[in-house]
Amino acid sequence: MTGFLRGSATAMITPFTASGVDFEAFGDMIDYQIENGTDALVILGTTGEPATMTEEEKLALMRFSVEKTAGRAKILFGTGSNCTEKAVFQSKKAEELGADGVLAVTPYYNKCTQAGLAAYYEAICRAVRIPVVAYNVPGRTGVNLLPATAEQLAAIDNLAGIKEASGNMTQVVETARRIRGKCDLYSGEDALNLPILAVGGTAVISVVSNLAPKPVKELVEAVLRGDLARANELSDRLLPLSEACFTEVNPIPVKEGMNLLGFRAGVPRPPLTPLEEGHRALLAAAMKACGLEARA
């Protein structure tokens, strides 16, 4: 299917306190995104640290997100797993709780075959009626969703798109060619938002837009209307911030960036650690250069 996502989606962080999820702070972040034009919120993706959350915390965050967003933006919940049965269960629960779609990362650690990937996504898509987005991020999962497999998946009625974060533009271009007109291509790598959009991407799922939702949205809009001069201007402005947001593993820097903006983002859960001081100074400088005013 095509047409599910167009524009900017933010891969939301999850703010924690010592006792659990900080729902009030998360609600403030949802409002910030919507007020600045973000089209969709991706919750419990990698950036949201679901690997360190209990099932009860994840369900509570899903319920809160649907209620707080109240239809003002699309909501996708991360439901991928290295167990197909668990991914199916989580996808069904997301649909039951009111998600507009689900984001399913490729199975991690198991290193399954391409046939295994196809069977995994077919099982998820059969289990729900809502759109499913496949997420390819081999640097984290150890498995790469190849273009031929993406083409196979694109034939599934409710497979809405491929979120590409392989970092390999040759592969991205080939995936775009094979899925064009069947399902959509989404950028999952902030540094490559402009080129992925330029080869036919319809949306970005961005980490940087936690901090800078408005310019990320403007970048997507500029490409989609064919204004590459403006798109390059915005990309040039955002790239140093993107680099600063990945000096340490995501979401360590972006959580500190949200703290600098005055949100109660807290710190990542172990085994992730707070941002190192030298990287904090680099991030603060990149935020200032991008026009983001630190309040903390």
Adjacent-strand bridge partners of 238: none
Report the 10 Å Cβ neighbour count for 289. Answer: 12
Question: Could you confirm whether 163 is annotated as catalytic?
Answer: yes
Q: Each residue of 170-219: pLDDT tens digit?
A: 999 999 999 999 999 999 999 999 999 999 999 999 999 999 999 999 99
Contact (CB, 8 A) for 99 and 132: no
| AA identity, residue 254 | V
For residues 6-30, average pLDDT: 97
Residue 277 has what pLDDT? Answer: 94
CATH of domain 7-215: 3.20.20.70
What's this model's pTM, rounded to 2 decimal places? 0.95
Residue 261, pLDDT above cutoff 80 = yes
CB 229 within 8 A of CB 32: no
In 3-state terms, what secondary structure has residue 276? coil
Statement: residue 22 has pLDDT above 90: yes
Report pLDDT digits (tens) over 35-69.
Answer: 999 999 999 999 999 999 999 999 999 999 999 99
Identify how many contiguous H helices and E strands the chain contains and give both numbers: 12, 10
Per-residue pLDDT, averaged over 13-42, amounts to 97
pLDDT on residue 8: 98
The pLDDT, as a whole number, for residue 295 is: 78
| Catalytic residue (choose from 120, 121, 135, 186) | 135
- The one catalytic residue in 68, 163, 217, 255 is 163
Looking at residue 296, its pLDDT comes to 63
Helix H segments across 154-276?
A: 169-179, 193-198, 213-224, 228-244, 252-260
The burial class, CB within 10 Å (0-12 / 13-18 / 19+), for 51 is exposed
**Distance (Å, whole) CA 205 – CA 196:** 11
In whole angstroms, give the CA distance from residue 263 to residue 78: 23
Q: What is the mean pLDDT of residues 162-176?
A: 97
